[in-house]
Every structure is written in C-alpha cells, then in structure tokens.
C-alpha cells in the first residue's frame, strides 16, 4: 500500500463491530448458554449486521467446540471467529471449529504485561516474542484472517508493546486488537496508545486496529470511542455489556453514540439499530442477567418519563427530553410513566388514550385523587386510572 492509500484507509469512516457476547460475555459467572440459545443469538447478530461474531473458545470444552462449529454454519453473512491461546493445539482446535464458516477467523492472544508475563504465562520477554512469531505464523498458515491480541495491553510497557505488535504483524496478523483487559485505561490514554502504535510500529497502518475494553471503571464505551478517534476501526463489544466482572463495552452504546453524535464522531457501522431491543431482551433472557432500569439505550427507563415538566415537554415535542427516537432502537413508543411526579398534561393525555375526554373541572377533580393514589403507589398503571375513572362516574 502507498502512503496515500494508507492515509485514506485510516480516514475511512466505517467501524467494524465485533460481537463477543458468545465468548467474553458468556465468561461472566452464571451466564452460561446452551447450544440452541447460542445459535438463536448468533443468527440475530448475523441478521442485525454485526461484522464479526466471536463464537467461543473451541479448546475450552467439547460444548464450546460444537457451538463454534454450528455457528460457523448458521451465520453466513458474518466473519466467524474462535479464540485460541498462544499454542499450536489451541490454534488447530480453533481452526477445526471455524474452518467451515463462509468467512473464518482465528483469534489468538497472550498476556504481555509484566504481571501476566511473570505470574500467568511465566515467560520472559524474548521467549514470548518467539512464541508470538511461532503461533501467529501457524495460525496464518491455516487461515487468511488472523487476529492477534496482547492481553492486558494497556498495562504493558510501551516499548515492549511495540515489539510484540510488530512481531505479530510480521508473522501475518491481519487484525491487531488492543485489549484493556482489566478496564484500567481512560479515554485520553486509550487514544494515545493507538496513536503511539501507529507512529512507532511498521505495518500498523496496514492492519485493522481493534479496541477491546472492559468496564471496571465505567469507561469502556468512552475508551472504545476514543480509540476509534485515534484510528481503531473495529470495536469489540457485547449486547447489554455482558462480560466478566463489570462487563465489556456495550454494543448498543457505541453504535448509538456514533449514530446520534455523528456530527462529532463521523463514523458509521453496518448495524440495523432497530434490532437492538430484540437482541437486548434475548440476551437478558438467555443469560439470566436482567438489564438495569437506567441502563443507556436498552434499560426499561431509557425512554420513559415521569416528571411533570418532562412529560409536558414530551407531549409538545419529543426532542425536548429525548436525543434519539425509540423506533431507532426497535421500541414502538416513549413511555409516560404515571407517578407522583406526573402533571395534569400527562394525566389528560393518558386518560384520552384510555378513551376518557375530560373537561377542566373534571380533570382537576381526578388529578387530586390521582396524586393521592400516586403517593401510595410507586407507579400508577392504566388499570388504576380506569378504576379512578369508574369511581368518579359512580360518585358524580
Ligand atoms: O479482555 C481480554 O484481554 C480478552 C482477550 C482474550 C482479547 O478478552
Ligand atoms: Zn475481554
């Protein structure tokens, strides 16, 4: 590639979405999924336009191997990726599982930070460089699409990080992923690491650069987007942010952030965002991990309003208190939750939806009784309002 082409490639606005719900997501304690459940999720991810599905860790168990093998056949539009540690047995098993996919990928990794070198892999720097060269070369001899990750990259010494990445590229890696394995980095640093690698590592501008963030400090989404601004073009994420400890970057958050704030983050993905709620509900049901009410994009309250001022605003113009349309993520409408903070305008509108058109005096009367009820109940449901109205007509 010429310098000119490289610059153009780096400036391209398309960001690949790599979903690892079925691998890193499933690694959350208690989130184990059956083969049928994994196939159902994979086919929805395939339909919604995810670019790469990390389907599992084939060497981990026969069940994982089987799941990756089946998903490889069931998701025809997407790259199907399996994970492998830095040894030939893992890589061979991974290849066996993904090889029948339309677009197979091997993802191999090793922990490169001082802590991982000393306590996890027990390998010195030189031996590790040789191991990376050997394993990436082996993977590349099997598969044209090889992703390599220095696990705990964000706590790896800068000079050594450059060396390991350069070794992997020379051995044939086509995607270099920079994992923030323990959710330790912050947005500015996340971007600086990508810029530093682009500046110092030969060939870095010829591979796809990926960002893989964990959410231990609640910064996974911000860190992923900062990496993209610095040149990363693949975000690794999971539905609902499912993942070990505090989870991974949430797919729905990065995708909607780039869509809603495209003015300042001019990138695009291939995701059909109207399938986001369906995917969120499916993953919550299958994993048993319920989504918190105030979770961005997919929480029960993400498009719900209770306070009188907000409801009044929403009834006049949805843009007053919503920055995206519920339809864009697959919801049919905004919810005006009736509770003690609701005002007259919302009550009138809700009663009208239920078939009651009230004059001002009647509304005032119902409003007093509605507030008394709302003080006793967290939420006033449609049935409660109908009961109030029935009561009203018997009293009048
Ligand atoms: O968090 C991590 O470092 C990982 C690697 C296997 C990429 O999940
Ligand atoms: Zn991870």
Residue 212 annotated as lining a ligand binding site: yes
At residue 379, the pLDDT reads 87
Q: Which atom of ligand 1 is nearest to the CA of 20?
A: 8
Confidence of residue 188 (pLDDT cuts 50, 70, 90): very high
Contact predicate 341/380, CB 8 Å: no
181 lines ligand 1 (CB under 6 A): yes
Confidence of residue 395 (pLDDT cuts 50, 70, 90): low
Mean pLDDT calculated for residue range 294-307: 94
Mean pLDDT calculated for residue range 258-286: 97
Mean pLDDT calculated for residue range 47-62: 97
Which runs of consecutive H residues, i.e. helices, occur in 55-157? 62-74, 88-98, 114-115, 125-142
The DSSP bridge pattern shows strands 234-237 and 208-213 to be parallel
* 18 pLDDT higher than 90: yes
Mean pLDDT of the chain: 94
Q: How many helices (H) and strands (E) does the chain have?
A: 15, 10
pTM above 0.95, yes or no: no
Confidence of residue 332 (pLDDT cuts 50, 70, 90): confident
Ion ligand 2 neighbours (CB, 5 A) are 24
* 131 pLDDT higher than 90: yes
Q: Which atom of ligand 1 is nearest to the CA of 27?
A: 8
* 10 pLDDT higher than 70: no
At residue 47, the pLDDT reads 96
At residue 333, the pLDDT reads 83
Lowest mean pLDDT among 1-15, 83-97, 177-191: 1-15
Mean pLDDT calculated for residue range 167-178: 98
* 130 pLDDT higher than 80: yes
Query: How many Å lie between the centroid of ligand 1 and the Cα of residue 151?
Result: 6
At residue 334, the pLDDT reads 82
At residue 11, the pLDDT reads 55
- Angle, helices 344-353/382-395, rounded to nearest 10 degrees: 90
Contact predicate 201/166, CB 8 Å: yes
The residues near 285 (Cβ < 8 Å, ≥ 6 apart) are none
* 87 pLDDT higher than 60: yes
pLDDT > 70 fraction of the chain, expressed in percent and rounded: 96
Q: Which atom of ligand 1 is nearest to the CA of 109?
A: 6
Mutation pick for ligand 1 pocket among 86, 149, 152, 244 (CB with most ligand atoms within 8 Å): 149
Specify the 3-state DSSP secondary structure of 220. Answer: helix
At residue 42, the pLDDT reads 97
At residue 115, the pLDDT reads 97
Ligand nearest to the CA of residue 112, numbered in listed order = 1
* 91 pLDDT higher than 70: yes
Ligand nearest to the CA of residue 247, numbered in listed order = 2
Confidence of residue 389 (pLDDT cuts 50, 70, 90): very high
pLDDT greater at residue 52 or residue 3 = 52
329 lines ligand 1 (CB under 6 A): no
Which residues in the chain belong to E strands, given as ranges? Answer: 16-19, 52-56, 79-85, 103-111, 146-151, 175-180, 208-213, 234-237, 304-305, 335-336
* 391 pLDDT higher than 90: no
pLDDT > 90 fraction of the chain, expressed in percent and rounded: 89
At residue 374, the pLDDT reads 93
Mean pLDDT calculated for residue range 281-285: 97
19/5 Cα distance (integer angstroms): 28
* 65 pLDDT higher than 80: yes
Mean pLDDT calculated for residue range 17-40: 96
Q: Which atom of ligand 1 is nearest to the CA of 23?
A: 8
* 84 pLDDT higher than 90: yes
Q: Return the residue whose CA atom lies nearest to atom 1 of ligand 1.
A: 181
């Amino acid at each position: 590639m010429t310098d000119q082409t490289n610059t153009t490639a780096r400036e391209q606005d398309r960001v690949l979405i790599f979903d690892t719900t079925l691998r890193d997501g499933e690694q959350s304690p208690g989130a184990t999924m059956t083969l049928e459940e994994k196939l159902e999720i994979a086919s929805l991810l395939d339909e919604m336009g995810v670019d790469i599905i990390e389907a599992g860790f084939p060497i981990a168990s026969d069940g994982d191997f089987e799941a990756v093998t089946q998903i490889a056949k069931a998701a025809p539009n997407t790259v199907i990726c399996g994970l492998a540690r830095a040894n030939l047995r893992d890589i061979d098993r991974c290849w066996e599982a993904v090889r029948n996919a339309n677009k197979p990928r091997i993802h191999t990794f090793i922990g490169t930070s001082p802590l991982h070198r000393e306590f996890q892999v027990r390998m010195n720097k030189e031996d590790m460089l040789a191991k990376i060269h050997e394993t990436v070369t082996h993977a590349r001899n099997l598969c044209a699409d090889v992703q390599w990750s220095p696990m705990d990259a964000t706590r790896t010494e800068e000079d050594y990080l450059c060396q390991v990445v350069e070794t992997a590229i020379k051995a044939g890696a086509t995607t270099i992923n920079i994992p923030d394995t323990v959710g330790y980095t912050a947005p500015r640093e996340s971007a600086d690491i990508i810029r530093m690698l682009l500046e110092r590592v030969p060939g870095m501008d010829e591979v796809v650069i990926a960002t893989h963030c964990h959410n231990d400090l609640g910064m996974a989404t911000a860190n992923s987007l900062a990496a993209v601004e610095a040149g990363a073009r693949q975000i690794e994420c999971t539905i609902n942010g499912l993942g070990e400890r505090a989870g991974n970057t949430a797919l729905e958050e990065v995708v909607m952030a780039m869509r809603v704030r495209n003015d300042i983050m001019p990138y695009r993905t291939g995701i059909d965002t109207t399938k986001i709620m369906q995917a969120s509900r499916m993953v919550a049901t299958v994993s048993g991990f319920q989504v918190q009410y105030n979770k961005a994009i997919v929480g029960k309250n993400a498009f719900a309003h209770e306070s009188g001022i907000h409801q009044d605003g929403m009834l006049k113009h949805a843009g007053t208190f919503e920055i995206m349309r519920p339809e864009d993520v697959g919801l049919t409408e905004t919810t005006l939750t009736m509770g003690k903070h609701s005002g007259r305008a919302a009550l009138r509108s809700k009663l009208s939806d239920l078939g009651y058109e009230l004059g001002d005096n009647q509304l005032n009367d119902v409003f007093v009784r509605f507030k008394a009820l709302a003080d006793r109940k967290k939420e006033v449901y449609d049935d409660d309002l109908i009961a109030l109205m029935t009561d009203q007509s018997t009293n009048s």
